[in-house]
Amino acid sequence: MRKNNGFSNLYLVLLFAVLYAPIFYLMYYSFNSGGTMHGFEGFTLEYYREVVQDTRLMIIVINTLVIALLSSAIATLIAILGALAIQYVRNRRAKNTLLSLNNVLIVSPDVIIGASFLILFTIAGIKLGFVSVLLSHVAFSVPIAVLMILPHLQDMSPTLTDAARDLGASRRDVLTKVILPIIKPGIFSGFFMALTYSLDDFAVTFFVTGNGYSTLSVEIYSRARQGVSLSINALSTLIFLFTILLVIGYYFLTRRKSRTAVAIAEPAAEAGVPR
Amino acid sequence: MTNKGRSYYLIPYYLWIALFVIAPVLLILYYSLFDLDGHFTLGNYVNFFTPVYLKMTLTSFWYAFLITAFSLLVAYPAAYLLTRTKHKQLWLLLIILPTWINLLLKTYAFIGIFGTFGPVNNLFDVFGIGEQQILFTGFSFVFVSVYIFIPFMILPIFSALEELNLSLLDAARDLGASGWTTFRRVVFPLTISGVRSGCMAVFIPALSLFMITRLIAGNRVITLGTAIEQHFLVTQDWGMGSTVAVFLIAIMALFMMLTGGSRKGVQK
């Protein structure tokens, strides 16, 4: 393969610089004692103290984590059943229909999901707040988890379940002792994708959250609308570090399967855009 | 083995489809037929075809088009060069990493960067251009959106380029094609599927994202997404909001049919 010359390396370096500059810019000014995002005056950890001492913010962080963990766990459970449903539907047409229905929420823009869920919860009489946010996070995490689990089911040789049945395993045994262990990596990545979806979501939550309840992204949005405040910078530095930890964790979890960065690249590519 | 027992544990999934996939779309359609006072009307649709909304739709399209075009312009060469680096998986990972950081935080960073005293304006000062209003303009909106969407354009193009058979390039060169001709006649047509999925991944969100418009463009740029948000959360006119949403869904479906259909054509 031909090597890149200097000019093309410059292009890539520039691209990476632009991609990372805003992130490091945010982090750099989180230490600015001047209180603004320009003119670095002196080093301070004041904004970190502010973030840690802000009980309201801490409650919101806990809310966000609770919602993320709970919704991904529920979504993964539903997604396991969904993947089984799609896999074991015999009719080809029905299978394709199920798959398309599954993917509707992945391709639809967040505003539409948010708006339609808002209508749904209002009609169903569900009070906007914890329950509505949890339900909608479960709802939009299910399809991506299904897509993560399904390939593992498809790769599984049908002879395995046949053999288990021939040997007298009950259907429950087949599920818990054969199928689930085999698709475990898929379940893990499904859970992980659901987690990142939930942590990353802003627009849907923004629509279905009530007055008293807030998650981190909604809080960041309302603070950012009021202008620059360096506690957001401090917060984002912490979130960035947390994200890196999460990515590294995921990398090591999936490394046993495939030893390359593709393990991370693929779900991210599949997950698509912040709609 | 009967199928009856199995269908029990499929209930949650089917329930999910019914409640959160089918019902919401129907509800949006239903609500688009009511006005502010809850009377049945087709007025919302009539309203949509007034100059105000048509102009908004057109600007929304124009911006989405600009964002997609610029993303493609930056991303294609980048993806191409990435396939030729050593350790390309590592570089790819570095492209992906920023996408894991909350969109709002990246957008927020640009409030500082493009601000009156931000580094960009400092640079302008150095070159003697003087301070410019960058924030709250169409330019900043397009720039920030392109910044956010670049990785999603690079990824599909990168994988399309990876699948490209390199001997085809050698064959083209042996047959005397120049670099540009090889690209135009061989490389680009063979990677058009990646370009297409990239464009799809960028265009639809570009039509509907509202937080970037709100934070970066102030109220200068109003997209379909901003309009929906406005109607649902500010003016509480759910009927009109649903109508805009119906059109957005229609546009999306049309777009996906177009791209999906022609993808089959390429693979033949």
Question: What is the per-residue pLDDT for A268?
Answer: 45
Would A174 be classed as within a structural domain?
Answer: yes
Question: What is the per-residue pLDDT for B176?
Answer: 84
Does A83 have pLDDT greater than 60? yes
Would A113 be classed as within a structural domain?
Answer: yes
Binary contact (A23, B166; C-beta < 8 A): no
Would A176 be classed as within a structural domain?
Answer: yes
Q: DSSP letters along A19-30, please?
A: HHHHHHHHHHHT
Question: What is the per-residue pLDDT for A263?
Answer: 46
Mean pLDDT of the B9-21 span = 89
State the best of B1, B9, B10, B20 to mutate against chain A, taking most chain A CBs within 10 Å. B20
Nearest to B104 by CA among A67, A45, A64, A239: A239
Q: Alpha-carbon distance A140 to A204, whole Å?
A: 9
Find the closest chain B residue to A196 by CA distance. Answer: B100
Tell me whether A22 touches chain B (CB under 8 Å): yes
Place of tokens 């810019």: A25
Does B3 have pLDDT greater than 50? no
Question: What is the per-residue pLDDT for A4?
Answer: 60
pLDDT band at B193 (very low <50, low <70, confident <90, very high): confident
Mean pLDDT of the A162-182 span = 87
Residues of chain B with pLDDT > 70, as a percent, come to: 94
Question: What is the per-residue pLDDT for B149?
Answer: 92
Q: What is the phi/psi pair of residue A36, to 5°?
A: -130, 170
Tell me whether B103 touches chain A (CB under 8 Å): yes
Question: What is the per-residue pLDDT for A236?
Answer: 86
Mean pLDDT of the A70-96 span = 91
Nearest C-alpha of chain B: how many angstroms from A47? Answer: 16
Would A235 be classed as within a structural domain?
Answer: yes
Nearest C-alpha of chain B: how many angstroms from A224? Answer: 6
Mean pLDDT of the B36-46 span = 85
Question: What is the per-residue pLDDT for A257?
Answer: 54
Tell me whether B131 touches chain A (CB under 8 Å): no
Question: What is the per-residue pLDDT for A244?
Answer: 83
Would A242 be classed as within a structural domain?
Answer: yes
Does B83 have pLDDT greater than 60? yes
> What's CA A212's distance to the chain center, in Å?
24
Q: Alpha-carbon distance A191 to A69, whole Å?
A: 9
Does A262 have pLDDT greater than 70? no
Tell me whether B4 touches chain A (CB under 8 Å): no
Q: With beta carbons under 8 A apart, name residues in chain A contacting B76.
A: none
Binary contact (B95, A19; C-beta < 8 A): yes
Does A178 have pLDDT greater than 50? yes
Q: Alpha-carbon distance B82 to B24, whole Å?
A: 41
Tell me whether A91 touches chain B (CB under 8 Å): no
Does B87 have pLDDT greater than 90? no
Does A258 have pLDDT greater than 90? no
Residues of chain A with pLDDT > 70, as a percent, come to: 91
Q: Take residue A63 and report the two structure tokens written for it.
A: 């809310």
Would A22 be classed as within a structural domain?
Answer: no
Does B75 have pLDDT greater than 90? yes
The size of chain B, in residues, is 268
Measure CB to CB from residue A274 to each of B103, B233, B252 and give the nearest one.
Answer: B103
Does A265 have pLDDT greater than 70? no
Residues of chain A with pLDDT > 90, as a percent, come to: 27
Question: For B196-244, how does the pLDDT look when each residue is reduced to its tens digit (9 = 90+)?
Answer: 888 888 988 888 888 888 888 877 778 888 999 989 998 888 999 999 9
Q: For chain B, what are the domain ranges?
A: 1-31, 43-267
Neighbours of B136 (CB within 10 A): 17
pLDDT band at A264 (very low <50, low <70, confident <90, very high): very low
Question: What is the per-residue pLDDT for B28?
Answer: 93
Mean pLDDT of the A252-274 span = 50
Measure CB to CB from residue A81 to each of B10, B102, B233 and give the nearest one.
Answer: B10
What average pLDDT does the structure give for chain B?
85
CB-based contacts of B240, cutoff 8 Å, min separation 6: B44, B47, B231
Question: For B119-172, how does the pLDDT look when each residue is reduced to its tens digit (9 = 90+)?
Answer: 888 778 788 777 777 788 888 899 999 999 999 999 999 989 988 888 888 888
Does A167 have pLDDT greater than 60? yes
Q: Alpha-carbon distance A74 to A140, whole Å?
A: 12
Tell me whether B24 touches chain A (CB under 8 Å): yes
State the total domains in chain A. Answer: 1
Q: With beta carbons under 8 A apart, name residues in chain A contacting B20.
A: 105, 117, 120, 136, 139-140, 142
Question: What is the per-residue pLDDT for B245?
Answer: 93
Question: For A112-136, how does the pLDDT look when each residue is reduced to its tens digit (9 = 90+)?
Answer: 999 999 999 999 999 899 999 999 9
Mean pLDDT of the A197-214 span = 88
Q: Alpha-carbon distance A145 to A103, whole Å?
A: 11
The vertex-B169 CA angle with B163 and B170, nearest 5°, equals 130
Does A69 have pLDDT greater than 60? yes
Binary contact (A26, B25; C-beta < 8 A): no
Q: Alpha-carbon distance A8 to B171, whole Å?
A: 24
Would A42 be classed as within a structural domain?
Answer: yes
Does A245 have pLDDT greater than 90? no
Q: Which of residues 203-242 of A touch B (CB under 8 A)?
A: 203, 206-207, 216-217, 220-221, 224-225, 227-228, 232, 236, 239-240
Question: What is the per-residue pLDDT for B184?
Answer: 86
Q: Which residues pair with B34 in a beta bridge?
A: B40
Would A259 be classed as within a structural domain?
Answer: yes
The three-state (H, E, C) secondary structure of chain B, written as one string = CCCHHHHHCCHHHHHHHHHHHHHHHHHHHHHCCECCCCCECCHHHHHHCCHHHHHHHHHHHHHHHHHHHHHHHHHHHHHHHHCCCCCHHHHHHHHHHHHHCCHHHHHHHHHHHCCCCCHHHHHHHHCCCCCCCCCCCHHHHHHHHHHHHHHHHHHHHHHHHHHCCHHHHHHHHHCCCCHHHHHHHHHHHHCHHHHHHHHHHHHHHHHHCCHHHHHHCCCCCCCHHHHHHHHHHHCCCHHHHHHHHHHHHHHHHHHHHHHHHHHHHHHC
Mean pLDDT of the A183-206 span = 89
What average pLDDT does the structure give for chain A?
84
Does A2 have pLDDT greater than 80? no
Question: What is the per-residue pLDDT for B115?
Answer: 82
Nearest C-alpha of chain B: how many angstroms from A1? Answer: 7
Prediction pTM value: 0.84
Q: With beta carbons under 8 A apart, name residues in chain A contacting B75.
A: none
Tell me whether A48 touches chain B (CB under 8 Å): no
Find the closest chain A residue to B7 by CA distance. Answer: A85
Nearest to A270 by CA among B154, B156, B254, B89: B156
Q: What is the assigned CATH class of domain B43-267?
A: mainly alpha
Question: What is the per-residue pLDDT for B17?
Answer: 92
Tell me whether B8 touches chain A (CB under 8 Å): no
Question: For A10-64, how does the pLDDT look when each residue is reduced to its tens digit (9 = 90+)?
Answer: 899 999 999 999 989 888 888 888 777 777 888 888 889 888 888 888 899 899 9
Nearest C-alpha of chain A: how many angstroms from B127? Answer: 18
The three-state (H, E, C) secondary structure of A189-244, written as one string = HHHHHHHHHHHHCCHHHHHHCCCCCCCHHHHHHHHHHCCCCHHHHHHHHHHHHHHH
Residue A90 is part of a domain; what is its CATH number?
1.10.3720.10
Question: What is the per-residue pLDDT for A165?
Answer: 86
Q: Identify the sign of the CA torsion A86, A91, A95, A98.
A: negative
Measure CB to CB from residue B20 to each of A88, A139, A206 and give the nearest one.
Answer: A139
Its domain, for residue A226, covers: 31-270
